[in-house]
């Protein structure tokens, strides 16, 4: 069978939604796979984390509308989290270390929270917001804003008002943070392992400003099932998948005016004819213009 034994782990009925909002499941730019699986499709149990109280109230109403039997499978927490609190908060409410899905979108250096969570948890699929303006291999991370005035809804709205161009994490930063301390099964002495706790994550595809990563054992199963019939399972570089999912997206130059507000032609950072050093220099020059004195490493 192509189904890896590591995917038989208990807990795959769970999804974790960090930034669940009001629980809505809508198509388009605000698509939330965790809300859809748990609250609309009803195929999974959900752990929902959301800091905004009115949104949590609407979320609770959606859960209660499922009836006593349906609602009993879900847990909603009205809480704002930081890198220091995220692991303890999730561990106290989630009865497994290997949920089917972890979705992260809180508009505050999401990749740093991913790094903390994946030190302990090993979801099969990771869906996280990225800053798509920085193509691989450029690594950009917003510093997590963890002061008291930055954590709440007012802080989130201030970050959005500053502009999305200098917030969040690039795709390469997310991949780096998701794979800290992880190693391919082929380097662990075999091609199949009994659990997925230390397996790395690979990019399936980019959905405009979101990246979908999959654990190595699940990727192998997907490639057996779909082969080259899906762009997600093609053996392509991260940059090629970024180009397909963002740069060549028909809305990339227009949706939300992201690139216009950034005063940046992203094609300059993705120029295949320019060496990596030149592309990095262009990104640094743009950052210095937009946020003078910003630290860059």
Q: Say how far apart CA 63 and CA 57 lie, in whole Å.
A: 10
Residue range 172-200: mean pLDDT, rounded: 78
Give the mean pLDDT of 123-132: 96
Residue 134 · residue 172 · CB < 8 Å? yes
Query: Chain centroid to CA 174: how far?
Result: 8
Most confident range, picked from 61-65, 157-161, 166-170, 195-199: 61-65
- pLDDT for the residue 196: 65
Q: Are 122 and 36 in contact, with CB atoms under 8 Å apart?
A: no
Q: Which pLDDT belongs to residue 194? A: 46
CB neighbourhood size of 41 (10 A): 11
pLDDT in tens, 214-230: 999 999 999 999 998 99
Q: How many CB atoms lie within 10 A of CB 296?
A: 10
Report how far apart, in Å, the C-alpha atoms of 275 and of each of 6, 232, 280 are.
40, 27, 9
**Residues facing residue 207 across a β-bridge:** 210
Buried b (16+ CB within 10 A) or exposed e, 124-147: bbbbbbbbbbbbbbbbbbbebbbe
Give the residue with greater pLDDT, 253 vs 278. 278
Per-residue pLDDT of 258-297, as tens digits, reads 888 888 899 999 999 999 999 999 999 998 888 776 655 5
Return all residues near 97 (Cβ < 8 A) that are at least 6 apart: 11, 120, 121, 122, 197
What tokens does 114 get?
A: 């991913």
With a cut of 70, say whether residue 139 has pLDDT above it: yes
Query: Model-level pTM?
Result: 0.91
Average pLDDT over residues 93-115: 94
Quick check: bond before 18 cis, omega within 30?
A: no
pLDDT at 187 (0 to 100): 60
Q: How far apart are CA 59 and CA 50, in angstroms?
A: 9
Q: Nearest Cα to 105, choosing from 163, 152, 166, 168?
A: 168
**Model confidence over 195-204: pLDDT tens digits?**
567 899 999 9
Residue at token pair 């991913």: 114
For the chain, the average pLDDT equals 88
């Amino acid at each position: 069978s192509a189904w890896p034994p590591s995917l038989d782990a208990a807990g795959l009925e769970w999804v974790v939604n960090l930034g669940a909002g009001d629980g809505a499941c809508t198509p388009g730019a605000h698509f939330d796979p965790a809300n859809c699986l748990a609250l609309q499709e009803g195929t999974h149990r959900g752990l929902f984390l959301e800091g905004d109280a009115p949104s949590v109230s609407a979320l609770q109403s959606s859960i209660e509308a499922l009836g006593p039997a349906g609602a009993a499978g879900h847990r909603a927490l009205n809480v704002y989290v930081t890198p220091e609190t995220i692991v303890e908060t999730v561990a106290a409410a989630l009865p497994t270390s290997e949920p089917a899905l972890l979705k992260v979108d809180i508009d505050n250096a999401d990749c740093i929270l991913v790094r903390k969570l994946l030190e302990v948890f090993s979801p099969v699929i990771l869906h996280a917001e990225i800053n798509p303006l920085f193509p691989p291999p450029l690594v950009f991370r917003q510093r997590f804003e963890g002061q008291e005035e930055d954590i709440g809804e007012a802080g989130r709205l201030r970050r959005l008002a500053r502009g999305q161009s200098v917030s969040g994490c690039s795709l390469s930063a997310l991949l780096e943070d998701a794979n800290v301390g992880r190693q391919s099964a082929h380097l662990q002495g075999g091609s199949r392992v009994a659990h997925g706790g230390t397996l790395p994550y690979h990019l399936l595809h980019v959905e405009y400003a979101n990246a979908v990563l999959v654990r190595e054992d699940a990727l192998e199963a997907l490639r057996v099932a779909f082969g080259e019939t899906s762009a997600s399972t093609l053996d392509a570089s991260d940059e090629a998948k970024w180009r397909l999912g963002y740069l060549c997206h028909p809305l990339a130059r227009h949706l939300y005016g992201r690139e216009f507000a950034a005063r940046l032609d992203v094609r300059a950072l993705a120029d295949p004819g320019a060496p990596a050093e030149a592309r990095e220099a262009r990104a640094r020059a743009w950052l210095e213009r937009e946020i003078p004195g910003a630290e860059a490493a």
